[in-house]
Amino acid sequence: MAAIGSIVGSGGLIVMDEDNCMVDIAKFFLKFTVDESCGKCTPCRIGTKRLLELLEKITDGKGTLEDLDKLEELCYYIKANALCGLGQTAPNPVLSTLRYFRDEYVAHVVEKRCPAGVCKHLLRFVVDKDKCIGCGMCMRNCPASAISKTDYIATGHKLPSVEIDPNKCVKCGVCMDNCRFKAISKQ
Ligand code: SF4
Ligand code: SF4
Ligand code: SF4
């Protein structure tokens, strides 16, 4: 396990699939270590906070390729200089996800896309006009009034349809859950 960058820990095993965002997972574990850090040494007390900020910047869609280098550099610094096991292992989730799922990090910073469809700031809800029948159920349930009917005659579609204003949408997913025709998807 050490060879692949892992430790036994408390003996738990978590199984994940393509619906888990690896950047988000790294953020989850970092939040735990930031909370647990006793604050005695600077690399762990301040370093893990800076790591978390960088991860948040990436999941907010504001990250750059340079941030990935900064992440890695900071991880190795913390591992080498933290006083105890907590700080020395805190960067492991970042390093191992960067090592095995770098393509996901790159999708977040270059394409501004979360391949797993988890990071809210990078999500876009879209209506498939060929599946939509214009029933209006999504529109009635949208808490942000972000959905409106389209002029289907003008757009050349046979059936009425709706469209989502990305500037108003708060990415709650209610519309997708309410569409019985599976006409809304997140990208
Ligand atoms: S590495 Fe250990 S000693 Fe240093 S702040 Fe973190 S928990 Fe405290
Ligand atoms: S609920 Fe589905 S079918 Fe009905 S208007 Fe919305 S997207 Fe179209
Ligand atoms: S995701 Fe939520 S806010 Fe956005 S259009 Fe759908 S229901 Fe409205």
Domain boundaries, the chain: 19-109, 124-186
Exposure class string for 21-45: b at 16+ Cβ within 10 A, else e:
bbbbbbbebbeebbeebeeebebbe
Nearest ligand by distance to the CA of 41: 1
Q: Which residues contact 18 (CB under 8 A, 6 or more apart)?
A: 115, 116
Are the beta carbons of 69 and 19 closer than 8 angstroms? no
Strand, helix or coil for residue 147: strand
pLDDT at 35: 96
117-155 pLDDT, tens digit each:
999 999 999 999 889 988 999 999 999 999 999 876 666
Nearest ligand by distance to the CA of 43: 1
Per the prediction, the chain carries an average pLDDT of 92
Q: pTM score, two decimals?
A: 0.80
148-174 pLDDT, tens digit each:
998 766 666 667 789 999 999 999 999
For residue 125, the ligand 3 atom closest to its alpha carbon is 1
The Cα 147–Cα 140 span in angstroms is 9
pLDDT at 13: 83
Name the closest-CA residue to atom 2, ligand 3: 172
CATH of 124-186, one of 3.30.410.40, 3.40.50.300, 3.30.70.20, 3.40.1790.10: 3.30.70.20
pLDDT at 154: 64
pLDDT at 9 over 70: yes
Q: Is the dihedral of CA 158, 162, 164, 168 positive or negative?
A: positive
179 lines ligand 2 (CB under 6 A): yes
DSSP 165: -
pLDDT at 82: 98
The Cα 170–Cα 144 span in angstroms is 7
Share of the chain above pLDDT 90, in %: 80
The Cα 73–Cα 3 span in angstroms is 20
CA-based nearest residue to 40, from 48, 32, 51: 48
Query: Fold identical between 19-109 and 124-186?
Result: no
Q: Which residues contact 187 (CB under 8 A, 6 or more apart)?
A: 113, 117, 123, 124, 125, 126
Question: Which residue type does 37 have?
Answer: S
184 lines ligand 3 (CB under 6 A): no
pLDDT at 26 over 70: yes
82 lines ligand 1 (CB under 6 A): yes
Are the beta carbons of 163 and 142 closer than 8 angstroms? no
142 lines ligand 3 (CB under 6 A): yes
| Tokens 């020395």 belong to residue | 88
pLDDT at 85 over 90: yes
The Cα 41–Cα 154 span in angstroms is 65
pLDDT at 8 over 80: no
Given ligand 1 and candidates 32, 35, 40, which is best to mutate, with the most ligand atoms within 8 Å of its CB? Answer: 40
Given ligand 1 and candidates 77, 86, 89, which is best to mutate, with the most ligand atoms within 8 Å of its CB? Answer: 86
Under CATH, which architecture does the 19-109 domain have? Up-down Bundle (1.20)
pLDDT at 51 over 90: yes
pLDDT at 161: 87
pLDDT at 183 over 70: yes
The Cα 86–Cα 79 span in angstroms is 9
The Cα 47–Cα 93 span in angstroms is 14
